[in-house]
Amino acid sequence: MSKQTYFGSTKAVLGALMLIGFTATGARAQDVPAVGQPLSGTFETTSVDTNADGIRAFRQSLRVIDEVAGDSTIEGITEFSQGVRATCPSGNRGTRLTLLATPTAPAALVQRFDNTGDLLTMTVTSASACQDLTLGKVFLEAAGNIVGGTGALTGATGTFRVTGEGSLLFLTINDLFGAQLGTLEQTIVLP
């Protein structure tokens, strides 16, 4: 049985500190080049802090509008480790957080396609976020693997990569909330 490969690329309004949303174009890679699809959503802190370092995991809630594959939603949770001083892509000094790479730390996303209810599951394998408090923005990069699905996406594999810029709408010592703008590239391989 031959494998089918699908590519997608997304530019849009995303959520801020946390990555993510992913879309498949629904067209064979050799038939249609990658096309940007709109994506919007929010991110917020949760109560999850698996290593008790005070940096709580972030929850993402995103909406993808895709005329080819159909609209979808993405829900996810990812935990970062303590930050270090760094220069953000804006050129300002900020704090760079990286993915907390422990077996118990959350780093997962689920995409649900509205037209079928099929789910696509993803794990985040690398991520960083740079908080620029001068501008009230967060710059992020994330990548990972597609690790399965349901319905027509059963057995799906592949990769994704996302870059984004978000706005901090609410920020305290323990909590934050915001919206993002970003680009997503995704390859879905079906068995």
The kind and range of the H/E element at 156 are: none
Residues of the chain with pLDDT > 90, as a percent, come to 42
Mean pLDDT of 110-114: 91
- Picking from 151, 102, 169, 162, the residue whose alpha carbon sits closest to that of residue 129 is 162
Residues of the chain with pLDDT > 70, as a percent, come to 80
Q: What pLDDT, on a 0 to 100 scale, did the predictor assign at position 85?
A: 96
| 175 or 20, which is more confident | 175
What sign results for the dihedral spanned by CA atoms 53, 55, 59, 64? negative
Phi, psi of 21 (to 5 degrees): 175, 145
pLDDT category at 164 given cuts 50, 70, 90 is confident
Mean pLDDT of 58-84: 85
Under 8 Å CB-to-CB from 118, ≥6 apart: which residues? 112, 149, 150, 151, 152, 153
Does position 51 have pLDDT exceeding 80, yes or no? yes
Question: How far is it, in rounded angstroms, from Cα 110 to Cα 17?
Answer: 18
Q: What pLDDT, on a 0 to 100 scale, did the predictor assign at position 156?
A: 93
Mean pLDDT of 103-129: 92
| 8 or 178, which is more confident | 178
pLDDT category at 126 given cuts 50, 70, 90 is very high
Q: Provide the whole-model pTM.
A: 0.77
Local structure of residue 43 (DSSP, 8 states)? E
- Picking from 34, 30, 37, 48, the residue whose alpha carbon sits closest to that of residue 12 is 37
Q: What pLDDT, on a 0 to 100 scale, did the predictor assign at position 100?
A: 92
Question: How far is it, in rounded angstroms, from Cα 165 to Cα 167?
Answer: 7
Mean pLDDT of 91-118: 91
Report domain extents, the chain. 4-190
For β-strands 157-171 and 137-149, DSSP reports them as: antiparallel
